[in-house]
Amino acid sequence: MTEPLFLYGVYSIHVRPLALQGARWDAEYEIRHRDHAVQRWTTIGGNTGYATEAEAVESAHQHAVADIDHGAGIPKPRAFP
């Protein structure tokens, strides 16, 4: 699977799935605005990971959206929806 890219308002969310041992998955995400990172790569999944790659990617996407919605040190431009 290629690195998924999700758009959310003026931000782009880049996600990388990470294969673990035992057919488990983690994922990491980075939030960018105009090709500049506003939040560096963050890994999610923990010790047990996720059962599928798609589940890990979707969870990373949801975490990134939550980070944007709740601030997480990410500046919101005036044009943000």
Residue 42 makes CB contacts below 8 A (sequence gap 6+) with 28, 29, 30, 63, 64, 67
Question: pTM value?
Answer: 0.84
pLDDT digits (tens, 9 = 90+) for 45-81: 988 899 999 999 999 999 999 998 887 667 666 655 5
Q: Look over the chain and give the mean of its residue pLDDT values, rounded to a whole number.
A: 87
Average pLDDT of the residues in 34-41: 89
Share above pLDDT 70 across residues of the chain, in percent, rounded to a whole number: 88
Helix (H, G, I), strand (E, B) or coil at 31: strand
Long-range contacts of 71-80 (CB under 8 A, 24+ apart): 72/39, 73/39, 74/11, 74/31, 74/38, 74/39, 75/33, 75/38, 77/10, 77/33, 79/10, 80/9, 80/10
**Which of 18-22, 30-34, 42-46, 54-58 has the highest average model confidence (pLDDT)?**
54-58
